[in-house]
Structure 1
Amino acid sequence: MITLLGPTASGKTALAVRLAHRLGSEILSADSRQVYCGMDVGTGKDLSEYTYQGKTIPYHLIDIVPAGTKYNLFAWQHAFHQVYTSLRERGIQHPILCGGTGLYAEAVLRGYHLPDVAPNPELRQSLQGLTLAELRERLASYGPLHNATDLDSPQRAIRAIEIADYIRQQRLDGVLHSEYPPIESLILCITLPREERRARITARLRQRLEDGNLIGEVQGLLDSGIAPEDLIYYGLEYKFVTQHLLGQLTREELFTALETAIHQFAKRQMTWFRGMERRGFTLHYIDGLLPREEQLSQALAYIEAWEAKESITSSPTAI
């Protein structure tokens, strides 16, 4: 498998599509919010980008559950393996896992299996009143697979702590097991200078707000009957635009608060990716400032070298 990571607004989808086109492959999304139907603009699905040189590249794990539900890593992992197994059975040599949710990517690369955890009312009660920063600090104490990469609301942080606490107890009792094997993968990561990343995020947000698509999308979700608190649960665009539509934020306050939140989110994404290296993964970096075709050439060179190495190590005559 080929894994393509990168922060928001780095151009992951465009590169993944070009890679899939060249390799005759298909794309699996590793994005915790693109699973929701109707949440398109705020999650940056950019579905038009999946058509390249007249060919539409098949994609998976996008638009698989209704907006308003609370999907989780447990369910996504099962869905991922169903699709991944199907792709390999159809002869897809290098499925491409592409996204910015490092937790999801690392979970399948390592073969972690997180159980479907029931609510823990006592634990939830004990966490009530803690600030988001305090909740993130508590979550980090459970280990590297439970940081706050895409958690920007207390509700999501509390749920993550609930799962982490359950897993810790299962480990102590010796009953936690891995259902899935690790997946061998070449990991590519698009990088951008901090100021360029921030400039892209700001420009994209300004455009989405000025053309009305983002606010219109959130209004449509509310009009469809989704409760405001459910949209706020998803964080980032859906949290702040919902608060704006409820009259809690002015248009200027919306832009300022959301811009800051997305910058912080992108920083946490890069922190996660660097943490993967400390946890034993090798990441091959691609300069996000390069033209698309040069990025593609660089990615193909990494793949060629990786395949050559894999061929040597798997050879019966290899020493």
Structure 2
Amino acid sequence: MIAPVAVVGPTASGKSALGIALARELGGEIVNVDSMQLYRGMDIGTAKLPVSERGGIPHHLLDIWPVTHTASVAEYQARAVETVEEIAARGKVPVLVGGSMLYVQSLIDAWSFPPTDPAVRARWEARLNDVGVDALHAHLATVDPEAARVIEDKDPRRTVRALEVIELTGKPFQASQPPKDAPPRWGTRILGLRTEAEWLNPRIARRAELMFAQGLVEEVEGLVGQGLRADSTAGRAIGYAQVLAMLRGELSRDEAVEQTIAGTRRYVRRQRSWFNRDARITWLPAAEADVDGALRALDSLA
């Protein structure tokens, strides 16, 4: 099988542009590995490239779920594996692009998901209802600090899932995941865009401000009519959560922008921590990354 290429790294580091450039040079097609770009209509706040900016390169696994759908890494994995293998079977190079940590790992590793038990899950959901997501996430941090660093502190579903797995397996949630030193599935060559805060933070701020200027509030208003809710997976996405709070009168527009910037920076810190532990990644400086340097890096991995 033709070996895929993956482009990973923090939000706003330039993954989409490099992915398209590589796909053009390699004769490839893009496979999305951004969990929020899976949702239809979530375009501005996820920095989803419009068709006109995709350079004629086919993109897969964008806009596959309505905003009412509860995200599932296992469901994504099944569809993504099938998509990657179908692209390769046609003689094209699958170019995997995104920074959603668990989604990346589910795709490039042979990850068999841990068991589930409705009774155990229901007990943790009841605890969630009693103490709230902040307290439950704080509890997760005491029993599995690594899982707490990866899982968003306002994400009740994944917090409950991690605690369920820990109880069922008697091991940390991270122990249920494949080791990051195992050979990647399909011989995938992984490139990462390394960023420095001094370079990335202004980009994050400009990006957030531009999203609001381009109509993020209006986009969210339209999605509310399609069922977007604050307690859904889609409704907790950075930017969307802040706009929903603004529409409820809990934040001003300026506060929503500032909280979107702060939330993105927190997420970037988790991404850096996660990807930096993966020794299989060949890093390129994001501020200087270009397709020629990326192709040289890939040649060194062949």
| Bin of the TM-score, shorter chain as denominator length | 0.7 to 0.9
Q: Following the alignment from structure 2 to structure 1, what is the Cα–Cα distance between the partners of residues 26 and 137?
A: 43
Post-superposition CA distance 1:184-237 (Å, at most 9, x none): 2211111222111110000111122133x1111101011234334336743311
Partner of residue 264 from structure 2, selected from 262, 265, 268 = 262
1:139 to 1:187, Cα distance in 2 relative to 1, 3 A: farther
Q: Following the alignment from structure 2 to structure 1, what is the Cα–Cα distance between the partners of residues 10 and 217?
A: 23
Partner of 2:102: 103
Residues 30 and 96 of structure 2 are in contact (CA less than 8 Å); yes or no, is this contact kept in structure 1?
Answer: yes
Partner of 1:283: 281
Partner of 1:158: 159
Post-superposition CA distance 1:256-290 (Å, at most 9, x none): 222111111111111111122xxxx3221112112
SS of the equivalent of 1:97 reads: strand
Give the aligned residue type for 2:18.
L
- Structure 1, unaligned runs of 5 or more: 308-319
Deviation at 1:20, TM superposition (A): 0.2
1:116 to 1:226, Cα distance in 2 relative to 1, 3 A: farther
Matches within 5 A, 1:59-138: 59-92=59-92, 94-114=93-113, 117=116, 119=118, 120-127=121-128, 128-129=130-131, 132=134, 135=137, 138=140
Q: Following the alignment from structure 2 to structure 1, what is the Cα–Cα distance between the partners of residues 124 and 238?
A: 25
Q: Following the alignment from structure 1 to structure 2, what is the Cα–Cα distance between the partners of residues 140 and 66?
A: 35
Deviation at 1:150, TM superposition (A): 5.7
> How many percent identity over aligned positions?
26
Partner of residue 271 from structure 1, selected from 270, 273, 287 = 273
Residues 8 and 193 of structure 2 are in contact (CA less than 8 Å); yes or no, is this contact kept in structure 1?
Answer: yes
Residues 25 and 95 of structure 1 are in contact (CA less than 8 Å); yes or no, is this contact kept in structure 2?
Answer: yes
1:185 to 1:229, Cα distance in 2 relative to 1, 3 A: same
1:118 to 1:215, Cα distance in 2 relative to 1, 3 A: farther
Q: Following the alignment from structure 2 to structure 1, what is the Cα–Cα distance between the partners of residues 275 and 297?
A: 18
Using structure 1 for the length normalisation, give the TM-score: 0.81
Deviation at 1:169, TM superposition (A): 5.8
Partner of 1:310: none
Partner of 1:304: 299
Residues 19 and 97 of structure 2 are in contact (CA less than 8 Å); yes or no, is this contact kept in structure 1?
Answer: yes
SS of the equivalent of 1:85 reads: helix
Matches within 5 A, 1:23-62: 23-48=26-51, 50-52=53-55, 56-62=56-62
- Figure out how many residues of one structure are paired with residues of the other and give that number: 288
RMSD over equivalenced CA pairs, Å: 2.8
Residues 155 and 236 of structure 2 are in contact (CA less than 8 Å); yes or no, is this contact kept in structure 1?
Answer: no
Post-superposition CA distance 1:81-103 (Å, at most 9, x none): 110121121122x3111101122
Q: Following the alignment from structure 1 to structure 2, what is the Cα–Cα distance between the partners of residues 227 and 106?
A: 28
Partner of 1:317: none
Partner of 2:236: 234
Q: Following the alignment from structure 1 to structure 2, what is the Cα–Cα distance between the partners of residues 47 and 150?
A: 29
Post-superposition CA distance 1:136-158 (Å, at most 9, x none): 661684586x4543624242343
Q: Following the alignment from structure 1 to structure 2, what is the Cα–Cα distance between the partners of residues 34 and 166?
A: 32
Q: Following the alignment from structure 2 to structure 1, what is the Cα–Cα distance between the partners of residues 262 and 227?
A: 29
Partner of 1:14: 17
Matches within 5 A, 1:115-264: 117=116, 119=118, 120-127=121-128, 128-129=130-131, 132=134, 135=137, 138=140, 141-142=143-144, 146-149=147-150, 151-162=152-163, 164-165=165-166, 168=169, 182-183=184-185, 184-211=187-214, 213-230=215-232, 233-264=235-266
SS of the equivalent of 2:108 reads: helix
1:257 to 1:300, Cα distance in 2 relative to 1, 3 A: same
Greater Rg, structure 1 or structure 2?
A: 1
Between 1 and 2, higher relative CO (CA 8 Å, sep ≥ 6) is seen in 2
Using structure 2 for the length normalisation, give the TM-score: 0.85
Q: Following the alignment from structure 1 to structure 2, what is the Cα–Cα distance between the partners of residues 142 and 256?
A: 30
Give the aligned residue type for 1:160.
R
SS of the equivalent of 1:289 reads: helix
Stretches of 4+ aligned residues off by more than 4 angstroms: 115-119, 139-144
Give the aligned residue type for 1:126.
R
Q: Following the alignment from structure 1 to structure 2, what is the Cα–Cα distance between the partners of residues 104 and 79?
A: 12
Deviation at 1:300, TM superposition (A): 0.3
Partner of 1:314: none
Q: Following the alignment from structure 2 to structure 1, what is the Cα–Cα distance between the partners of residues 274 and 111?
A: 17
